[in-house]
Amino acid sequence: MYNLLKITSSFQKKIKIMRDKDRFLNTLIKSNGHHNVIDLGAQIGLDEKDTMEIVTQLLAEYKIEYALNGVCDYSLMRSQNRVKKANK
């Protein structure tokens, strides 16, 4: 029983991280470089540590890149920009 609870708890944490990452990426897209990443994380209820973990994951997944873009130091990768425009 303990193992099942441990697995369930671990799974719920992973789902939360995935949801937070999706919410952060959508917020980053909507901000269009007008807010820094810490402020964007705070807007969706993340602290600085969680925000930077998500930024690190998105960088590793090549979904964002480090580039000065207004106030924000990160922007979508070029391929992500094309996908975003295609979905409009």
DSSP 3-state percent helix, strand, coil across the chain (nearest 5): 70, 10, 20
What CATH architecture does domain 8-87 belong to?
Answer: Orthogonal Bundle (1.10)
Summarize pLDDT for 12-59 with one digit per residue, the tens: 888 999 999 999 999 999 988 788 899 999 999 999 999 999 999 999
What residues pair up with 65 in beta bridges, in sequence order?
75
Cα 37 to Cα 74: distance, rounded to the nearest angstrom:
8
| Residues whose CB falls within 8 Å of the CB of residue 64, separated by 6 or more in sequence, listed in order | 25, 28, 55, 58, 74, 75, 76, 77, 80
- Residue 86, pLDDT > 60, answer no
- Residue 5, pLDDT > 80, answer no
What is the pLDDT, as a whole number, of residue 39?
93
Single pTM value for the model: 0.74
User: CB neighbours (10 Å) of residue 58?
Assistant: 21
What is the pLDDT, as a whole number, of residue 58?
93
- Residue 80, pLDDT > 70, answer no
